[in-house]
A and B are shown apart, each in its own frame.
Chain A
């Protein structure tokens, strides 16, 4: 193994390859920072390029974009409360609060470090135990997936601390939104109320950005307007003083602060790596699950949602830790587990390598070079991120009166560009109205998004299990893995209740 890595290093550390990694990361961070756009889109656009490049260089470029994009999403999430990518939605919960408290640099650095740690963990797992872990992923059939989703739903209830009823209610609304469109089993349109534009269902990006970001932007807009009408010049002065009083040297992430976030980072790394290896589960699920777990195991759970650095660290490392493990099913079985993996699969095919079990044996050198590139790209991400962050934290402090309109417009155009879909823009605005309404009624928003993400998977898994079991509900508890999830869920509820009781 190690000798193979050494052999591949000549290929991986070729100056041109390094240059492409660098370029990729820069591009990825920039694109990821724009709401609606993610590294995936850039990778899709660059696919034909791959055919004309040396495989190692092409890989370097694509890997760089991917990793840069994963971290870049958190920049907009923290600076403007607008997640740049779906994976960064959980980061925006605490990240934006931290920024409002005048700590954008701390928040961004926490995000950068936890992102790099999570990502590196995941890459190491990919490199050293790709094949055995893929075998675990294969044992997940519909029954096991349903158990996993049910387990995640229970974590949702845990997420909405103190407001379990309202949390469950918005999770139900999220599931309902996800049911709009085509019935996965019969293919019939449902809940579209005669609108053909809805027949394909609501896409994730507009719902996510609408619920989290547009609603936040509108609330911020309302505060600005009130200030303007009331001519509250002291507020303006306060804003100005926040700008003037902002001292980047005081906003440095200290070593003890960083150390305090490490537990959350490790939780995120473990959860993200595991979720990433499961086909179809995705970055957002990983980020929210890590966030929920980290909050439960934190010494200061009450700070979550109010700018907790631990919250940022768990969400961001959970999000980035899917980066390496998402390739596990692709390498071991040729099954792309995510949109990104599918794009890399297409790139392999264009370079004449077939994803699947023979990929490693037929192309040992290039794949090991890819492994090294994955690790190296993290380093570039760290260095480049560190270099760029001071500028980004300054941007975060620009006058909101000018910034909010620009962010709103970028979110609209970015959402359209992601899928070239006009319907998505209308969905975005509608989701914004819904988000504002729910905020006014003090509903938590994270469970809605989680319900939206896992709703379709849970339904499909449930109905597939029932079809396979001939309509007998007991089929759901025929798998040891599934039973394990149910027991774990039960144990967690018990643990949380006891913990709560002990506190009061």
Chain B
């Protein structure tokens, strides 16, 4: 879906053994950078994107022609100041914006992978992205930052590579997907599977796209990113371009119209199979389980400085789940700060213009950088 675009891509030669047991090699990682890497190579920040994000953190996204997904936080003079820092972000493997994913062709069969693509995990994603450090000759990142699934990658990255980041900022995330998280992801996957166009994942050969299923998946997920209060304030029971109820099943309410719109624009930029793979990776994420149930052990090798941020109205990855990470870090005397930001904007708060969040992020980064 993006082969005509000129994406910056690193071809990773080194074989990568995936958690599922398969090994991949010569695979692409599509990335984008912002700012300039200094001579000491100590100003690099690796940003990890969330479920439906991509490498276009800031500036203009060439696919959507809209602002990058974290434009509020990343750019010149912003919280993650690209005048000062060198920001790297890459599309996760399993994704659909240039990195190795289910819409790529299997070199052995010359057919699109579809659901023959190996199941990947958060661990696989960060192991793949670690190759970017070698590519840029960066020994130690100044920071690793990410919200939601990006935060999970942050946690996994510092656990896998304890010496490779000075500061660590997981935002609005969890160390293990809850039953509710898995339930919502399963709803999305089943919506896709229920679309006859999905064709068990083999829709490329039929030249169809499971648009409807993917749109419903997005609609359901989108609700989980917002808070009840936020929705009520923005939409309430307001009607969509009509004076009264129509006694039918058109979008009478603005919220219906809004969700339908969110679903329809999503299918233009996202691959249904990637949605299956990435949600699966999130569901499989359980960092404590990798350490025999002791989350603290995931971090015991690192001297990095952690700063954990949650949001009051985030019910998808609530404050308590973020605090559990703080508790695990305190149990081993790690350097950890934590703040819960007041916001009505739900889980999406980290992507939006929430001044208390952005100033905390900026202050933490800038103070940690000058303390070097």
Chains A and B are bound partners: no
B interface list, Cβ under 8 A from A: none
A interface list, Cβ under 8 A from B: none
